[in-house]
Structure 1
Amino acid sequence: MNSTTNQRLAQLICNIADDVLRDLYVRGKYRDVILPMTVLRRLDSVLAASKTNVVSTKKTLDAAQIVNQDAALRQAAGQDFYNTSPFTMKDLRAASTQMQLRQNFEAYLDGFSPNVQEILENFEFRNQIPRLTKADALGTLLEKFLDPTLDLSPAALDNHGMGSVFEELVRHFNEENNEEAGEHWTPRDVVKLMTRLMFEPIADTIPDGTYLLYDGAMGTGGMLTVAEDTLAELTKGRQITTHLYGQEINAETFAIAKADLILKGEGRAADNIKGGPEFSTLSNDAFAGREFDFMLSNPPYGKSWKTDQERMGGAKKITDPRFVVEHDGDSEFSLVTRSSDGQMLFLANLLAKMKQRTAVGSRIAEIHNGSSLFTGDAGQGESNIRRYVFENDLVEAIVALPLKLFYNTGIATYIWVLSNRKEERRKGKVQLIDATKWFTPLRKNLGERNCELSSADINKILKTFHAFDEADPEVSKVFDNADFGYYKVVVERPLRLTDASPARVYKPAEIKVLKETSNRADDATPVIKRLHKPGTAPDPLHGLFETVVDGKMRVVEYERDTELSDTEEIPLIEHAGEYANGIEAFLRRKVLPYAPDAWIDPSKTKIGYEVSFTRHFYKPAPMRSLDEIRADIRALEVETEDLLSEIVG
């Protein structure tokens, strides 16, 4: 079964939509009927041979009053699904009226196994039956799907071929519905790149065994199936078994994903797919405590997770061990991001599911938009997630993708590649790859999508990734993990008031009155708020100054001027030189020459991390020559004179 035949069958099914549904549904809603009907027709064909056995087994089980019948009925069907109704799809044609057809069709649907029921419920397919019946279209629809030219039986189409036909239909309807396709459908070229980035570094050394693949924002499930195919292709000839796991909150896309696996003959894998509105990955982890070998996702960008946050008790009360972890001596290191965008929490979810005690460990490939590189201040959730992955040496590479690669957005996107079993040469390092110029234009735009990654483009990116060097610094650069980190320090200045006395210590209430009655001035006396015990060492860098109080040299602390408080971001790699650390060196070089009375409050110092592709791959535009500038000025002068002549004339 080749791709041309699959596309022909998919086109025949699309033609049914045009023939039967044109005046009944808007084009964007055709899939509400066509996708579940395609699933039903295939399942009906697969179950035809065992129909009698299933019905007989059902009668026997009922007579014996056996409640848990699922396993026995699956065995009777010889499949991971079954239908216990007395009807096949062909039998439904015998109905004499539309009402009888509807009743028989609903009884036929009710006979399917629980896993198929879940698909139908999430497709909300039963909601379409009244409309189809009223328009006298249900019978026509059945006749079209039963036409011999549309043969979806196992004899004509194996499971892989059927899966390909279904995926072609999903692709077709997503591209027609491009305003929302990007939310649930990652282009296959992007997925292919992600899976190769995830598998290729270890493809030659991965041992025989069973491996678990997981996607926590699985959409229609394409990432998992492409990942499974890619791993099989790269490890051909070895004993590699895979099991797929996924979670998806959108009901329709979950139904598509589950149906796709069942159509491919992977009914057991379909049982490991959890979804629907009650299955939000962030607030209802369906696989809590489970670890996976390979994980990939394309989480939603810029989408509020406030509802999830409230379900978890509110931002300050979240205790989920995926999002509150132990790091750098802090047992409650928070990875909780702002409620306006939860995309990085999907990365935290994957991090929590990495295997720690196997030779292969875990590998991750996840897509993010640009905000995940830099949003969030030091100490906030987004920055803490970046800090966690860099300080634990988990990031292998970040790849900048071409713009307008997705259906419903033209924003910049990036693939993060992570591993907790880095090869030796990558340890302590991170590779940034600018692949924004490697793409192939589409002949026709698909929504926002105007380009794709050809095989040649993907190979270029993979070649650069595997090289792990800076042979071409315009597209690849290698950094130490610490290069992305910084200290955020608070720089304080003393409150200087004209009526302040240099020889007394003020209480908080007195300072408040003094502020109201006195004026600030750069040459005024600083206000003393605390006097330290004799013997305390002065430390002007941290706010401990020496001054004369009551005729004696004492160590004091000054009241800070809130209007002069400022922050500085100091690179973690700042050279200390002759000083105690990089923070002191930076302050003495960049701050104290201009504000000699400044100090820092160590209790407010935080560590942050951010990645700036723009800075690292900045290409300055060449300066224009003076001759070019003069020519432009002369042209403007001539144009102005002509306009003036027209106005005056």
Structure 2
Amino acid sequence: MLNKEKFPIFQKNGVNISNEVSLVWSIANTLRGAYRADKYRDVIIPMFVLARLEAALKDTKEKVYETYKENPSTPKQVLESLSGYKYYNTSRFTLKNLLDDPDNIKTNFESYLYGYSERVQDILKSLKFYQEVENLAKSGRLYGVVKKFSELDLSPSTVDSIKMGYMFEDIIRRFSENEEAGSHYTPREVIGLMVNLLLAGANTDVFQDNKEVKILDMAAGTGGMLATSKSYIEQLNNKVNVRLFGQEVLAETYGIGKADMLIRQENSDNFVHSDTLKDADPFSQIKMNFVIANPPFGQSWGGRMLTMELKMLLEMTI
């Protein structure tokens, strides 16, 4: 049962990510000359996501590959069970062993990418990464980028989800410049304060043992609010079943958020690529316990036509 006297208080970020982020930034510098600085992100962010996804599969990779090799018709549910995650990779390649054949790095790397299952394919397409592989190969940078990321240890046992969240956000901030950064993420310190305020006034019946608590963020970014909300509730009562739901309109941040959901073994199918103001509600049949969001106030929400639609809607409700 929940004990409000034991509410975790807002904590300042004490996570040190300087070494890891500096290493990623140094990888970006290897693209100099082949890419404009504002395009580094098109390579670095997808590769960072891939390195994280692969690292989580390290212990089960060989078993999945051998099973698929023996029977390519193996049901995806079996392969997911073997991998331990809701995704897998049936390719024989890893970022590390791709380096063994530099002359065929492009062909083998594409084989490696296509070996990922459907949920990861959705992420790669959202990040438009397949378009960049050709560019990297033509510029002679593909081998070097793969090599650098193969040396980056992003395994969940080394880098937990909280630290990974800070790393995602810092990398995005560096590549986005000031005018865009707020559309991608909200600092975890701010999220922590928001979650404290949201849950402090909640009915304690919501947090009973084995109770299912559903949380929605309809402007989810990379999913930081959802992850922090769940972490906070589990500190209050780790017997509560927390389900997370997110919507994100920007393809890049959607891809990162969905990848993070996969790594944390959440139901990534509940993290959808959707425009909250324009599209039909993907969760209309689900009653949420909490809704938390930081709408992109500094961004256009659809221009003049959408403004007129909102004005008409407001007039109808008055």
| TM-score over 0.5 (shorter chain) | yes
C-alpha separation in 2, matches of 1:202 and 1:138: 51
Letter in structure 2 aligned against 1:141: V
Match of 1:57 in 2: 67
Residue 280 of structure 1 deviates from its aligned partner by 2.7
C-alpha separation in 2, matches of 1:255 and 1:286: 17
1:89 correspondence with 2:95: yes
C-alpha separation in 2, matches of 1:73 and 1:179: 42
C-alpha separation in 1, matches of 2:196 and 2:147: 43
Conserved 8 A contact 1:167-1:260 = no
Residue 84 of structure 1 deviates from its aligned partner by 0.2
Alignment partner of 1:298: what SS? coil
Match of 1:165 in 2: 167
C-alpha separation in 2, matches of 1:239 and 1:48: 29
Alignment partner of 1:182: what SS? helix
Question: Which structure 2 residue ranges, 5 or more long, are not aligned?
Answer: 1-13
Conserved 8 A contact 1:304-1:341 = no
Conserved 8 A contact 2:102-2:143 = no
Letter in structure 1 aligned against 2:15: S
Conserved 8 A contact 1:216-1:297 = yes
**Superposition TM-score, scaled by structure 2 size:** 0.84
Residue 384 of structure 1 deviates from its aligned partner by 5.6
C-alpha separation in 1, matches of 2:96 and 2:306: 52
Letter in structure 2 aligned against 1:133: A
Of all paired residues, the percent bearing the same amino acid is 35
Distance 1:38 1:192, change over 3 A: same
Conserved 8 A contact 1:28-1:173 = yes
| Mapping of residues 385-464 of structure 1, within 5 Å | none
Residue 167 of structure 1 deviates from its aligned partner by 3.4
Residue 240 of structure 1 deviates from its aligned partner by 1.9
1:108 correspondence with 2:103: no
Equivalent pairs, count = 300
**Higher RCO structure (Cα 8 Å, ≥6 apart):** 2
Conserved 8 A contact 1:166-1:260 = no
Conserved 8 A contact 1:57-1:76 = no
| Mapping of residues 251-330 of structure 1, within 5 Å | 251-263=251-263, 265-266=264-265, 268-275=266-273, 279-281=274-276, 282-301=278-297, 303-304=301-302
C-alpha separation in 2, matches of 1:192 and 1:130: 41
Match of 2:9 in 1: none
C-alpha separation in 2, matches of 1:203 and 1:246: 23
Match of 2:306 in 1: 339
Alignment partner of 1:247: what SS? strand
Match of 2:28 in 1: 17
1:28 correspondence with 2:38: yes
C-alpha separation in 1, matches of 2:315 and 2:193: 27
Q: 2:53 aligns with which of 43, 65, 80?
A: 43
Match of 1:197 in 2: 197
C-alpha separation in 2, matches of 1:151 and 1:187: 24
Residue 155 of structure 1 deviates from its aligned partner by 4.5
Residue 190 of structure 1 deviates from its aligned partner by 3.7
C-alpha separation in 1, matches of 2:220 and 2:256: 11
Match of 1:486 in 2: none
Residue 159 of structure 1 deviates from its aligned partner by 4.2
Distance 1:341 1:246, change over 3 A: farther
Residue 383 of structure 1 deviates from its aligned partner by 5.5
Distance 1:124 1:224, change over 3 A: same
Structure with the higher strand share, 1 or 2 = 1
Match of 2:214 in 1: 212
Q: 1:152 aligns with which of 145, 154, 163?
A: 154
- CA deviation vs aligned residue, 1:360-414 (integer Å, no higher than 9, x gap): xxxxxxxxxxxxxxxx5xxx533665xxxxxxxxxxxxxxxxxxxxxxxxxxxxx
C-alpha separation in 2, matches of 1:48 and 1:136: 28
Structure with the higher helix share, 1 or 2 = 2
Letter in structure 2 aligned against 1:185: Y
Distance 1:81 1:33, change over 3 A: same
Conserved 8 A contact 1:47-1:82 = yes
C-alpha separation in 2, matches of 1:112 and 1:54: 11
1:244 correspondence with 2:239: no
- CA deviation vs aligned residue, 1:26-75 (integer Å, no higher than 9, x gap): 3332221111111211222222222221112213443xx45xx2211111
Residue 158 of structure 1 deviates from its aligned partner by 3.7
Alignment partner of 2:24: what SS? helix
Residue 7 of structure 1 deviates from its aligned partner by 2.9
Q: CA RMSD in A?
A: 2.5
Distance 1:158 1:134, change over 3 A: same
Alignment partner of 1:299: what SS? coil
Letter in structure 2 aligned against 1:382: L
Alignment partner of 2:288: what SS? coil
- CA deviation vs aligned residue, 1:596-631 (integer Å, no higher than 9, x gap): xxxxxxxxxxxx5xxxxxxxxxxxxxxxxxxxxxxx
Match of 2:314 in 1: 382
Match of 1:118 in 2: 122
Residue 295 of structure 1 deviates from its aligned partner by 0.6
C-alpha separation in 2, matches of 1:144 and 1:75: 30
C-alpha separation in 2, matches of 1:27 and 1:229: 36
Alignment partner of 1:223: what SS? helix
Distance 1:207 1:42, change over 3 A: closer
Q: 2:225 aligns with which of 201, 223, 226?
A: 223
C-alpha separation in 1, matches of 2:248 and 2:117: 21
Alignment partner of 1:49: what SS? coil
Conserved 8 A contact 2:169-2:185 = no
1:127 correspondence with 2:125: no
Distance 1:127 1:284, change over 3 A: same
Alignment partner of 1:195: what SS? helix
Alignment partner of 1:86: what SS? coil
Conserved 8 A contact 2:95-2:149 = no
Distance 1:238 1:153, change over 3 A: closer
Match of 2:7 in 1: none
Distance 1:238 1:252, change over 3 A: closer
Letter in structure 1 aligned against 2:268: A
Distance 1:221 1:286, change over 3 A: same
More displaced stretch, 253-262 vs 192-201: 192-201
Conserved 8 A contact 1:218-1:247 = yes
Residue 126 of structure 1 deviates from its aligned partner by 0.9
Residue 184 of structure 1 deviates from its aligned partner by 3.2
Q: 1:138 aligns with which of 132, 137, 142?
A: 142
**Superposition TM-score, scaled by structure 1 size:** 0.43
C-alpha separation in 2, matches of 1:105 and 1:284: 37
Structure with max Cα Rg: 1
C-alpha separation in 1, matches of 2:200 and 2:271: 26
